[in-house]
Amino acid sequence: MRRLLPDKLANNLYHSWKALIPTLVDPQLKYTTRTHGQPLLEVRPVISACTYYGCAQKRSSIVCLLFDLLVHHGLFPTAPSQPRMAVSMDLLAFYRALFERSCDAIHALASALKTHYMRRGFHMTTSDGQVIQEPFRRGLGQAVQWFDILQIEVERQTEAAVQICRERVYEARRPQRKEATGISPTVSKTTLHQGRCASVLVQRCPACFGGLLFGRPLGEGGDIHVATDGNFHHRHRRSAGDCPHFYDPSYFLPKTQVDNVGHHILSQRKRAPKMYNSLVPNEAIDQCENSYEAADGKKQKAAMDSFDDTGVMALICRHDVPLFFANIDSPGEQQKYAVALIEHLFSLLPQEATVITLYDVGCVLSRSLSQYDILPGSVTVRLRFATTAMHAYGHEWACQLEYNPRMCAGLGLSDGEGTERLWSRFVKLIGIQRSSSRQKRLWLIDRQAAAIGMEMRADLGDWIKRRLKRGVNDQGAIAKEVLDRCGITIQDLQDEWADQKKSQLSVRAHAPARLKKELDVVLALQADLDASDRALQATRTVVEKDSATEHTLDALGSLERSHDRLMNKVEVLYASLNVHDKFPELQGIDLDFVRTLLMARDLKINIRKRAIGSFFEWDKLDRAVGGTQQALGTKLHQQTRKAIAKRQPALMTAIRKFNSYCERLESLYNPSWGVPLPAPLPTKLADLRNDQTLMQDVWITPSVGNVP
């Protein structure tokens, strides 16, 4: 059996390393200062810290090694005591840059070194001449890991020194700022408040958190946009075990912090939900929740058997810069990860700052926060949710009106899709981290995030320039052209939109849903009977082909007769439901039309469910290989695609049937009824996905005034 927990030997080793690293900070800094921008030093036959090389050299054998002397000469040990080998720090620094670009490649480097030295004529042997199979792997792994820890220690000390300077500069400028408050700028009649974000945030994204004025109203877009998303590909195999503690992640929240949020949520959920004022009907949010659970829930639970960590939840800013992560290590209650990240963010923001969070199931989380005291009121009044633009189709229309970022005022170009871009950069880590030790997995992701974050911060200027050009200017011009061509004033369009929104969000628009239920049942019964009718006919053809006995034919005939009677009874049942009574609005409209309309409505709901299901599958698949753009044709990927394609005919049949209903409705149509005709749906999945009408319910009530 493999050991899953670090043993005493490993503990001692890590302990020695941890004691050694702080002593190397100074030599490392000196080495960097000496070599920065300089040609590399030649390795001397005798390593010495002597600054005056003219001294006469005297040799005597001693059994002691000064680590700072090694570092002074640009060498890093492969063990914390009695190392047999040291690695050039320049090679380690180069490897670090390589890691940031590709990913962990220790095995490749170790094997490459062995091959390289062999070709150069050096064979690594033991003292008695035996060739060593893997001479570098272990030592190099240790050197890379602890050289990185040394780097982190150096960075930490430098950052602390710089932070002291920042504080001094801030204090020195304070008097000037006091005067400035008198003419504090106002945005849309709201007074903004002075404040400062925690330094860690400012360092991660100065464009988001470097500001000094906060309190823009949420209805106008708020101060800060963040997006959060979970990824369940970044797992850790239970059997890969763990190593002793060696690194405090800077992006991952501590496990205890996340777990405490989880306990708090559970205890709050035991209470009765609070009454609250919701814009979106509860039924709609329930639907959203179901469609996401169906897409994610089951797979999650199964994964816990062989994996102890099953994913990563990320929080990023509107420029896609990673801010914080939470490690997903439990099935079930998933809200705790998002809540912990949001809570952590708020703890680092000024008192007045407002935040909009984009999240796949933002609508569901928003409702939970309103129903239960999960976050303090001082936070929830400054927090608003939106869903992500990409998965908008997973949400009910009523929900989209309130939560779709494309329909929220003030969200601008924020679409919540930045997490997808982040995940695609992390793809290369998926394989390695599954079999690393638990802490090494966090270390790998954390360091990769730091590298990506630094790079993104440097690119912020260009990022904003690109968005301004392609987003604001180009898209703005197109939108303007459409507006100019339609010849209606913007004010009129806005009023019209507000009206539509109001009527579609009204509870009344959802009330008939309950009344429609019995109709649905009857329609389903009818569909079943149609199917059994076909089965009966098929039976008859088969039976008649062979010479059937009188008795068999009698039985069949009797079956058919009772089936016909059943059909008639369903017709009577249908008539007795009296559609016209239930929907007085439909009075005076041809019954056949109403029936087809109801069937079309029913079918469209069914189509939508199927379509959303397959959209989710496509997305997940693309995500697994790193985004839609990346055509990575692994065998498994292709197979899954085929499996999805196989399921498509059912969806396509349904769409064709729906389209035939549309034709029939059009032929029966009388404009004076005032019922908008449903539009046919495209029969290609890609077109369907971009189809605006897919999300709209078939209208079964006449509209007042103009048909929209």
Give the footprint of Zn ion on this chain (CB under 5 A): 50, 55, 205, 207-208, 288, 317, 319, 363, 395, 399
Backbone angles phi, psi at 173, to 5 degrees: -90, -10
Task: Name the residue nearer to Zn ion (CB basis): 203 or 436.
Answer: 203
Q: Provide CB contacts within 8 A for 421, sequence distance 6+.
A: 320, 627
Residue 109: count other Cβ atoms within 10 Å of its Cβ: 20
Task: Name the residue nearer to Zn ion (CB basis): 261 or 321.
Answer: 321
Give, in order, the Cα–Cα distances in Å from 125 to each of 122, 138, 662: 9, 15, 81
Task: Name the residue nearer to Zn ion (CB basis): 55 or 164.
Answer: 55
Q: What is the closest distance, in whole angstroms, from the C-beta atom of residue 26 to Zn ion in the complex?
A: 20
Task: Name the residue nearer to Zn ion (CB basis): 241 or 613.
Answer: 613
- Contact of 355 with 319, CB cutoff 8 Å: no
Task: Name the residue nearer to Zn ion (CB basis): 374 or 399.
Answer: 399
Residue 214: name the closest of 189, 183, 188, 190 by CA: 190
Chain centroid to Cα 209, Å, comes to: 22
Task: Name the residue nearer to Zn ion (CB basis): 288 or 688.
Answer: 288
Residue 309: name the closest of 237, 218, 213, 358 by CA: 237
- Contact of 201 with 208, CB cutoff 8 Å: yes
Continuous segment of H or E residues that includes residue 432:
helix 429-435
Residue 571: name the closest of 595, 597, 550 by CA: 595
Q: What is the closest distance, in whole angstroms, from the C-beta atom of residue 54 to Zn ion in the complex?
A: 8
Task: Name the residue nearer to Zn ion (CB basis): 54 or 175.
Answer: 54
Q: What is the closest distance, in whole angstroms, from the C-beta atom of residue 124 to Zn ion in the complex?
A: 34
Q: What is the closest distance, in whole angstroms, from the C-beta atom of residue 330 to Zn ion in the complex?
A: 24
Residue 292: count other Cβ atoms within 10 Å of its Cβ: 20
Q: What is the closest distance, in whole angstroms, from the C-beta atom of residue 486 to Zn ion in the complex?
A: 29
Q: What is the closest distance, in whole angstroms, from the C-beta atom of residue 644 to Zn ion in the complex?
A: 24
The CA distance from 234 to 213, in Å, is 38
Q: What is the closest distance, in whole angstroms, from the C-beta atom of residue 464 to Zn ion in the complex?
A: 10
- Largest Cα span, the chain: 123
Q: What is the closest distance, in whole angstroms, from the C-beta atom of residue 613 to Zn ion in the complex?
A: 16
Give, in order, the Cα–Cα distances in Å from 324 to each of 122, 170, 344, 458: 46, 26, 9, 19
The CA distance from 691 to 23, in Å, is 63
Q: What is the closest distance, in whole angstroms, from the C-beta atom of residue 55 to Zn ion in the complex?
A: 3
| Sign of the torsion formed by the C-alpha atoms of 491, 496, 501 and 506 | positive
Q: What is the closest distance, in whole angstroms, from the C-beta atom of residue 420 to Zn ion in the complex?
A: 17
Q: What is the closest distance, in whole angstroms, from the C-beta atom of residue 396 to Zn ion in the complex?
A: 6
Q: What is the closest distance, in whole angstroms, from the C-beta atom of residue 683 to Zn ion in the complex?
A: 27
Residue 149: count other Cβ atoms within 10 Å of its Cβ: 18
Q: Return the SS3 of 371.
A: helix
Task: Name the residue nearer to Zn ion (CB basis): 46 or 165.
Answer: 46
- Contact of 250 with 450, CB cutoff 8 Å: yes
Task: Name the residue nearer to Zn ion (CB basis): 328 or 386.
Answer: 386
Q: What is the closest distance, in whole angstroms, from the C-beta atom of residue 361 to Zn ion in the complex?
A: 7
Backbone angles phi, psi at 563, to 5 degrees: -65, -45
Task: Name the residue nearer to Zn ion (CB basis): 45 or 487.
Answer: 45
As to burial, measured by CB atoms within 10 angstroms (0-12 exposed, 13-18 middle, 19+ buried), residue 282 is: exposed
* The pairing of beta strand 224-231 with beta strand 355-359: parallel
Side-chain half-sphere exposure of 505, counting CA atoms within 13 A: 15
Give, in order, the Cα–Cα distances in Å from 99 to each of 454, 497, 552: 14, 51, 77
Q: What is the closest distance, in whole angstroms, from the C-beta atom of residue 321 to Zn ion in the complex?
A: 5
Task: Name the residue nearer to Zn ion (CB basis): 288 or 355.
Answer: 288
Residue 408: name the closest of 421, 423, 392 by CA: 392
Residues in the chain, overall count:
708
- Contact of 72 with 30, CB cutoff 8 Å: yes
Task: Name the residue nearer to Zn ion (CB basis): 99 or 393.
Answer: 393
Q: Return the SS3 of 556.
A: helix
Q: Provide CB contacts within 8 A for 533, sequence distance 6+.
A: 563, 567
Task: Name the residue nearer to Zn ion (CB basis): 399 or 655.
Answer: 399
Side-chain half-sphere exposure of 670, counting CA atoms within 13 A: 10
The CA distance from 614 to 637, in Å, is 15
Chain centroid to Cα 574, Å, comes to: 46
Q: What is the closest distance, in whole angstroms, from the C-beta atom of residue 450 to Zn ion in the complex?
A: 16
**Which residues, in sequence order, are bridge partners of residue 537?**
none
Q: Return the SS3 of 351.
A: coil
Task: Name the residue nearer to Zn ion (CB basis): 28 or 387.
Answer: 387
Task: Name the residue nearer to Zn ion (CB basis): 205 or 326.
Answer: 205
Which residue number has the CB closest to Zn ion?
288
